[in-house]
Amino acid sequence: MEDNTIISFANVGARYDNNPDILTDVSFNISAGSFYFLSGASGAGKTTLLRLIYQLHKPCRGTIKIFGQVTNNMSRDEITAIRHKMAIVFQEYSLLSHISVFDNVALPLRVRGMDEAKIKKLVTKTLDWVGLGKFANANPKTLSGGQQQRVSVARAIILQPAIMLADEPTGNLDDENASRLMELFIQMNKMFGTTIIIATHNSKLMETYKFPIMHVENHKLNFVGTKAPAPKKEKIKADDDYFAELAKQFKDIGNK
């Protein structure tokens, strides 16, 4: 395995209960900082693949390594530690409707016991980044579908995960909001070197953004297109205050 390999599958099979395999003999390595689309028909196994990476489902055979660690027999605490370096965004948003947009995004930080003063600064900058600063005190139910999806993205990126998984994140969005969400993912990938895998049915999205594709069909996984090199972290322009402050605060969190 290469030093910069962040996700590795070796002859992995997956099924639910005693049903036939959803995935069979899946093997691949993904380098840190890569960006992939994950395509395939409904029921082909896209969500199962993401669940395997995020450790929500165990393989029936084969070996999975995340961050160079074999995950097959990890304890609950070890899996929790792995997940702290990852984030997953679902199509259905999964927001808590009894608390504000701000509190939804702040939740991962509060779970980890971060100081409230720092939480306020970081959540404010993150909401500004996704274009929702003025909705901080709103109830998620009052927002449009595109806005709710951006809240879920803000909550997922608040701790700058090394791996971002997104399961049909644009499925309920119009073209304009889908493009805006894609730009947020691309900024994450370029600025922070986040490894991103986006499951999608949207062929227009894949044609517009020329990232390599992982395609699931007949229980197998194949790669389409040239493997993209890990992006270099771009120098942030001085006038990009939100991005610069967000990057600085993410760095500060990592050093504490």
User: 24, 200 in Cβ contact below 8 A?
Assistant: no
Q: What's the rounded Cα separation, in Å, for the pair 211 and 206?
A: 7
Mean pLDDT, range 104-121, rounded to an integer:
91
As given in the structure block, the two tokens for residue 148 are 């709710």
Q: Which residues pair with 163 in a beta bridge?
A: 86, 195
Q: What's the rounded Cα separation, in Å, for the pair 95 and 174?
A: 20
State residue 250's pLDDT score: 57
Instruction: Specify the number of domains making up the chain.
Output: 1
Confidence label for 22 from pLDDT (cuts 50, 70 and 90): very high
In a domain, 231, yes or no: yes
Q: Is the pLDDT of residue 108 over 50?
A: yes
Q: What is the rounded average pLDDT for all residues in the chain? A: 86
In a domain, 58, yes or no: no
Its domain, for residue 207, covers 35-50+88-254
Going by C-alpha positions, the residue among 151, 131, 130 that lies closest to residue 140 is 151
Confidence label for 233 from pLDDT (cuts 50, 70 and 90): very low
Task: Dump pLDDT digits (tens) for 122-150.
Answer: 999 889 888 899 999 999 999 998 899 88
As given in the structure block, the two tokens for residue 159 are 């701790």
In a domain, 62, yes or no: no
In a domain, 6, yes or no: no
Domain of residue 233, CATH code: 3.40.50.300
Cα distance between the two ends of the chain = 30
Q: What's the rounded Cα separation, in Å, for the pair 21 and 219?
A: 7
What sign for the dihedral angle of Cα 103, 106, 109, 113? negative
Q: Is the pLDDT of residue 190 over 90?
A: no
Which stretches of 112-236 are DSSP H helices?
116-129, 145-157, 175-192, 203-208
Instruction: Return the C-alpha torsion angle 145, 99, 192, 252, nearest 10.
Output: 160
State residue 135's pLDDT score: 97
Q: What is the pTM of this model?
A: 0.84
State residue 232's pLDDT score: 45
In a domain, 44, yes or no: yes
As given in the structure block, the two tokens for residue 176 are 């304009």
Provide, for the chain, the percentages of residues in helix, strand and coil under a 3-state DSSP scheme, each rounded to the nearest 5: 40, 20, 40
In a domain, 72, yes or no: no
- DSSP character at residue 95: -
- Which amino acid would we find at residue 97? S
State residue 116's pLDDT score: 93
In a domain, 64, yes or no: no
In a domain, 2, yes or no: no
